[in-house]
């Protein structure tokens, strides 16, 4: 049986965060807490993981993370603008050094023009850095959620490398 990619990425991220003495917070929508679950499966994750916000509804995004209602109305909950606002919201509301936010359409419903099922935005943020990527993942709801978690972990590892090379 192949090694669990998400577990391997989580272990690598945990080692990097401990080595750099950084703490992480996450904001999740379409993954429904799945990333936080996977992070906390790793023993010792309390040394580097502070908290996760599950903001599935637009009201939760606004009230818990400070995502402006106008941004959601203009761009939709599944957008780079909302993902970036979610990631910034974590930094503003938690004692963390970096954050990741995931918002998307896991399916099977929820698609809209220009945003088919599998559309996911993943944003990472840290002091002085904010980036977001749009992804199109194939498969059923579970596959979209797993791919979202995997790519969020990869984005965090890439962000750690940015700081090491700065």
Domain definitions of the chain by residue range: 5-164
Q: Is the pLDDT of residue 12 over 80?
A: yes
Q: Is the pLDDT of residue 2 over 90?
A: no
How far apart (Å, rounded) are the C-alpha atoms in residues 101 and 93?
14
Task: Say how far residue 142 (Cα) sits from the centre of its chain.
Answer: 16
pLDDT digits (tens, 9 = 90+) for 25-62: 999 999 999 999 999 999 999 999 999 999 999 999 99
How far apart (Å, rounded) are the C-alpha atoms in residues 56 and 49?
20
Q: Report the predicted TM-score, pTM, of the whole model to 2 decimal places.
A: 0.96
pLDDT digits (tens, 9 = 90+) for 103-156: 999 999 999 889 999 999 999 999 999 999 999 999 999 999 999 999 999 999
22 three-class SS: coil
Q: Does domain 5-164 have CATH number 3.90.950.20?
A: yes
- Residue 50, Ramachandran bin (φ over 0: left; ψ between -120 and 50: alpha; else beta): alpha
Helices (H), 21-109: 34-41, 58-65, 69-75, 80-93
């Amino acid at each position: 049986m192949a090694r669990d990619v998400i577990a391997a990425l989580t272990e690598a991220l945990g080692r990097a965060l401990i080595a750099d003495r950084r703490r992480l917070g996450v904001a999740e929508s379409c993954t429904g807490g799945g990333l936080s679950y996977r992070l906390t499966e790793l023993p010792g994750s309390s040394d580097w993981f502070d908290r996760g916000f599950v903001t599935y509804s637009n009201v939760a995004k606004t009230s818990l993370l400070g995502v402006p209602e106008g941004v959601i109305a203009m761009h939709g909950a599944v957008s780079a603008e909302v993902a970036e606002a979610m990631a910034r919201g974590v930094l503003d509301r938690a004692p963390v050094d970096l954050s990741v936010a995931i918002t998307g359409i896991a399916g099977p419903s929820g698609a809209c023009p220009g945003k088919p099922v599998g559309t996911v935005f993943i944003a990472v943020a840290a002091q002085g850095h904010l980036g977001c990527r749009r992804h199109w993942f194939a498969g059923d709801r579970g596959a979209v959620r797993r791919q979202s978690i995997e790519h969020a972990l990869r984005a965090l590892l890439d962000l750690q490398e940015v700081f090491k090379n700065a």
